[in-house]
A = this chain, B = another copy of it.
Amino acid sequence: MESGPPGGSGPAEPGPRLRGWRGADAAASASSLSRFGAEAGCRAPAVAAVLPAGGCGERMGVPTPKQFCPILERPLISYTLQALERVSWIKDIVVAVTRENMETMKGIIQRYQHKRISLVEAGVTRHRSIFNGLKVLAEDQPNCRLSKPEVVIIHDAVRPFVEEDVLLKVVTAAQEHGASGAIRPLVSTVISPSADSCLDHSLERARHRASEMPQAFLFDVIYEAYQQCSDYDLEFGTECLHLALKYSHIKAKLVEGSPDLWKVTYKRDLYAAESIIKERISQQVCIIMDTKEDEEHVGRCLEEMLKTELNHVKVISGQDLQQIILEQCYSFVCVNVMTSDFEETQRLLNMLEESNLSILYPVVVISEEQKLRESLRQGATIIAALIKERNSGLIGQLLVA
C-alpha cells in the first residue's frame, strides 16, 4: 500500500494533537508548509475544506445529531474544526449544516472562537451537502471572501482526530492524481446477501478496504463530477471517490490512514472519543501556590508524585495566572499554604470564567496545606484520579486528602 507523499523521503511528522500548546502547533504547521515547497518538490496549493454536517445521527440512538453531541461539554464538531484550523495551510473551511441547526452552529463558532469557517445550508443527503459546499467555493464573486481553491479536502464533521499528517498526504496525492482518499483495513468480512437474506457470497477481506475520510480532490475534478452526476447519485450515493471515477474518469490514489480516522457513528464511539480526548488534553497540570520559599517543598513533592501519573506537570506561583491562561492549561491544582480563605483560588476561578477561552472545564482542587503535608501521596492520588477522569460531578467540591 502507498504510504508517504510522492517525493517524500520518509513518513510525515505527526501532526499536532489536541494538546492546546499554540507554540507547538505553529511550529508543526510551518514545517509542513515547507514540505510542499522544498521536500515534496511541488508548490503549495490553495486548499479549502468542506465538511458535510447535516446528518441527523439516527444510528446514535440519541435525539441530538452526533456532530453536536457534547464531549466534555463541548460539541463533537468543535473538536473536528479545531483539528482542521490547526493546519495553517487550509485557507477556508466550509461547513454544511441544516437550517434548523444553523444558529446552533453559529453559537459553537462564537463560543469556541473558530476561524476561517463559512456556513452553507446542508442538502437532504450527504452528497447534496458536499455539493452545496463546493458551490460557494466555485463562485468567485467580488463580495464573497471565499475564492476557488486548487485542492479541496472533504472531511466528516464526526472524525475529530484527523491529523495534519494524513491531510498533507491526501492533498499532495490529489495534486498529482486528481483525487485521493484515506483507507483502512476491514475489521469484519464483507458479505453480499441474497434477496431472501441468505449468504450469496463473501468478499475476500485482504482484497478490500474501508474508504474513510479525509479525501482530497483537484477542485475542478470533483466539482465537475458533482455537476454531471445524476439525481440517483446525489440521493443514494455515499462515495466521492466513486463520483470522481465515474464522471471525471479519475482513479483516486489511496492512502493508508491511521486508526484515529474512525467515524463517530454509535454511542460507543462517543464514549471512545471522550476517553481519547481525556487522555490527550486533560493531563497538563498547573500547581498554583501562594507560597513562601520555605514552604515550597510541599509543591515540589506534589509535582514529583504527580509526574509519575500525569504527562505534564508544572508548578507556578499565584502571580503568573495570566500567563497560565495564555498557555491554555486546563487543569489547575491550588495549594493554599499561607491562607485558608481561598481568596487566591477564587481569583483564579474568576479569571477563568472571564477569559472566555475555548476551554474544557477546569479542574480545581483545593487542599489545606496542613493535611496535605501529612498525606501528600494520598493527595497526589486523588488529584491524578480527578484529572484523568474530569468528572464534572466533582468540580467545585471540597475534597480533603
Q: Which residues of A are interface residues toward B (Cβ below 8 A)?
A: 1-2, 59, 177, 179, 181, 183-184, 186-194, 197-203, 205-212, 236, 238-239, 241-242, 245, 251-254, 259, 262-263, 265-269, 271-276, 378, 381-382, 384-385, 388-389, 391-394, 397-401
Contacts and interface: CB of A to CB of B under 8 A. Distances in A.
Contacts of A201: 245
Contacts of A274: 271, 275
A381 B397 contact: yes
A59 B68 CA distance: 30
Contacts of A378: 397
B209 A190 contact: yes
Contacts of A242: 189, 199, 202
A199 B181 contact: yes
Residue of A183, A202, A266, A275 with most chain B CB atoms under a 10 A cut-off:
A202
A251 B199 contact: yes
B197 A1 contact: yes
A352 B124 CA distance: 56
Contacts of A394: 381-382, 385
A contact face: mostly helix, strand, loop, or mixed:
mixed
Residue of A197, A210, A276 with most chain B CB atoms under a 10 A cut-off:
A197
Contacts of A269: 268, 272
A142 B117 CA distance: 73
B202 A241 contact: yes
Given A211-B202, A254-B199, A271-B276, A239 B183 contact: no
Contacts of A203: 190, 203, 208
A58 B381 CA distance: 32
Contacts of A399: 382, 399-400
Given A251-B199, A254-B197, A394-B385, A191 B259 contact: no
Given A268-B262, A382-B397, A385-B393, A192 B211 contact: no
Given A193-B254, A205-B239, 11 more contacts: A177-B198, A186-B190, A194-B251, A198-B254, A199-B242, A262-B268, A268-B273, A274-B275, A384-B393, A385-B394, A399-B400
A137 B241 CA distance: 48
Nearest to A278: B271
Contact of A188 (B179, B189, B192, B210): B210
Contacts of A211: 188-191, 202
A223 to B, nearest CB: 19
Contacts of A199: 179, 181, 241-242, 245, 251-252, 254
A148 to B, nearest CB: 25
Given A59-B259, A198-B177, A251-B199, A209 B191 contact: yes
